[in-house]
Amino acid sequence: MKNLLQSLLLFFLFISFTGSSSIDENEKFLSFLEQEWQWELAQNPVYATKMGVKGFETQWRDDSLKGIKLREAHIQNSFVELKKFDLNSLNQNKSIEFKALYQLTQTALNISKYNRYLFPFNHRGGVQLAHEAVESLPLNTAEGLQVLD
């Protein structure tokens, strides 16, 4: 987890110091999206496995208070980084993607102040349904099943 935080810090430092005109704003935004995608996969290993991404088959999401606070801090940092992009420098497609991501990140920030992780388990959440998550994983090859040994 410490290495992940260090990697994120280096990434955000890299983003802030790459203000040279040689790097196109669209390329910077694509790089940001890739970093966010990798972060989301690492934070949601069951989803990553469902998507067919290798390397997350034996992991579960960290739902500890530390993990929750780490994700909240990441959302805040992502929002700060998003504000640094020049919307007028993005092409039309990237501009639409930017606006959608900006709105989703802003919504996530607004929701995080309600500490939803404190809500009690409901009838459709929690470890009691872990078997459903495992049943939906694409473990249809001998190689995929060996990872679980």
The predicted structure's pLDDT at residue 75: 96
Q: Does some domain include residue 83?
A: yes
Q: Does some domain include residue 55?
A: no
The predicted structure's pLDDT at residue 39: 96
Predicted TM-score (pTM) above 0.95: no
**CA distances in angstroms from 21 to 27, 29, 86, listed in the order given:** 11, 14, 12
- Gap between the Cα atoms of 75 and 106, Å rounded: 9
* Dihedral, 141, 142, 143, 144 alpha carbons, nearest 10: 60
pLDDT in tens, the chain (149 residues): 555 555 555 565 565 555 444 469 999 999 999 999 999 999 999 899 888 888 888 888 998 999 999 999 999 999 999 999 999 999 999 999 999 999 999 999 999 888 888 876 666 666 656 666 666 666 666 666 565 55
Q: Does some domain include residue 13?
A: no
Q: Does some domain include residue 103?
A: yes
Q: Does some domain include residue 87?
A: yes
| Domain total in the chain | 1
Nearest to 74 by CA among 107, 110, 109: 109
The predicted structure's pLDDT at residue 101: 96
